[in-house]
Each structure stands twice: as C-alpha cells, then as structure tokens.
Amino acid sequence: MNLAPYIPLAGAILNSFFALFVFSRAPRRTANQIYLFIGICIATWNLGSYFLFVVDNAQDALFWARFLQLGIIMGVVAYFHLSFLIAGYSVGRWIGWIYAFHLGLAI
C-alpha cells in the first residue's frame, strides 16, 4: 500500500481545520479572515496534489493541476496582505486591485 497520495489529503484536511479554528477564535478580526483564506488556498493546493496522485488520465490530471494552481496564485496575495497587517502597514485601497489582478491570473 502506497501512503504517498494520502499525505496531501491529510494536509488538506488538517489545514482546513486549523484555518477554521483560528477563524473561530475571533471571526471579525481582519487577520483571522485573511488567515482563513490562506488556509483555504493551502487546502486547495493540497487537494489538487492529492488528486494528481490518483488520476488515471491526462485530461483529469490537467484539470487538477489547474485547480492546484488556483490555490497557489491566490495564496500569494493573501500572504502578502497578512504580512502587511502583521507588520502594521496600511494596505490601503490598492490591495483590492492586487486581489483582482491575481483573480484575473487565476481565470
């Protein structure tokens, strides 16, 4: 029995639960909301990795590779946003444009 495919699946489940736990401590805090989004992005990445291990044709593999990239692309801007909040810098209105740009890249 090969356990390698189950490592990203376990990561997806644990990252989802941990992100929900942090969010549940103070749902109205912006940092917790962004951390929830980061957790979802990481879980998306892990879930895509899991399905890349178990697919049996190229078309499904391409779909899951693109799905995986969605988590990576959106996770970058979320990390940037959270880093600015933790450092105490004002993100201003331009952070919305950065999210929109990354969403355009994902599409």
Q: What is the pLDDT of residues 15-43, one digit of tens each?
A: 999 999 999 999 999 999 999 999 999 99
The pLDDT of residue 2 is: 86
Q: What is the pLDDT of residues 40-61, one digit of tens each?
A: 999 999 999 999 999 999 999 9
Please give the full DSSP string across 24-77, using - where no structure is assigned. HH-TT-HHHHHHHHHHHHHHHHHHHHHHHHH--SHHHHHHHHHHHHHHHHHHHH
The pLDDT of residue 16 is: 96
Q: Which residue has the tokens 């880093």?
A: 83
Closest CA to 47 of 20, 21, 13, 73: 13
- Rounded distance between C-alpha atoms, residue 72 and residue 86, angstroms: 21
pTM of the model: 0.90
